Amino acid sequence: MKNFHLESRNIFFRLNNQVSFIMPFNDTIYSIAYDSIFPRFYIDFGENKIPFDIFQKTSSDYLEQAQLRKKALTEISKDNFAFNANNFSETNYSIFFQFRHLLSSHVFYSKSTDKIVIAKNLINDIDHIPYTPPIAATDSEFVSIIEPADIIEHYKKIKNKYPESELKTIKQLVDSITEFDNPILVFAKTKPF
């Protein structure tokens, strides 16, 4: 798989003193210890797992290798395989990551109930402020970034769709920012699931 790679925002993530990582075409999350690397979690994509033989064709010629990679990625997408698990974040209670299967999918895993929630979109159902995928986590909260211009544009689209009482928080936020302000850090907890 040395010739197959995708860029990922987060391949390393940390909780307390444990550092873990995953590579985009891999289905195993590994932990790094002082003197070893060991499997920590396994993602079971079931029938949507990429067959290993897709990665078998290689070439020492750069252009030929690029063509083989393009053909393999086309085959992966065409056959609806799940791949590119990335952007991991972990709290003491849950794990978040994304993967590709037709479209980007967002996964939340509850450590206490072993339940999994898979969604195509993330929705903030409390105050209508847009929510973006986490880029980091604290012990109890996921951390994401929202651009002020995105919040302002979102508010313009929804201000006539919901009662004013539901939009108090987002309106207060929109009134206090401009599209040129610094990005806003969002600290969010998941509901129990």
Cα(142)–Cα(132) distance, integer angstroms: 10
184: left (phi over 0), alpha (psi -120 to 50) or beta: beta
Domain end point (choices 121, 149, 168): 121
Domain that holds residue 160: 124-193
Flag whether pLDDT at 53 surpasses 80: no
User: How many C-beta atoms lie closer than 10 Å to residue 1's C-beta?
Assistant: 13
CA torsion 151→157→158→161, rounded to 10°?
180
Based on the fold, state whether residues 139 and 166 are members of the same structural domain: yes
Based on the fold, state whether residues 55 and 96 are members of the same structural domain: yes
Q: Copy the structure tokens of residue 75.
A: 């085959």
So what's the pLDDT on residue 11? 72
Domain end point (choices 100, 121, 142): 121
Based on the fold, state whether residues 101 and 167 are members of the same structural domain: no
Flag whether pLDDT at 3 surpasses 50: no
Task: Tell me the β-bridge partners of 118.
Answer: 107
So what's the pLDDT on residue 2? 46
So what's the pLDDT on residue 49? 84
So what's the pLDDT on residue 8? 54
Based on the fold, state whether residues 116 and 128 are members of the same structural domain: no
99, 43 in Cβ contact below 8 A? yes
Domain end point (choices 104, 121, 138): 121
- The number of folded domains in the chain is 2
Instruction: Write the DSSP symbol of residue 182.
Output: P
pLDDT tens for residues 143-190?
Answer: 999 999 999 999 999 999 999 998 999 999 999 999 999 999 989 888
Based on the fold, state whether residues 108 and 15 are members of the same structural domain: yes
Full strand arrangement of the beta sheet holding 83-90: 83-90, 94-101, 103-110, 116-119
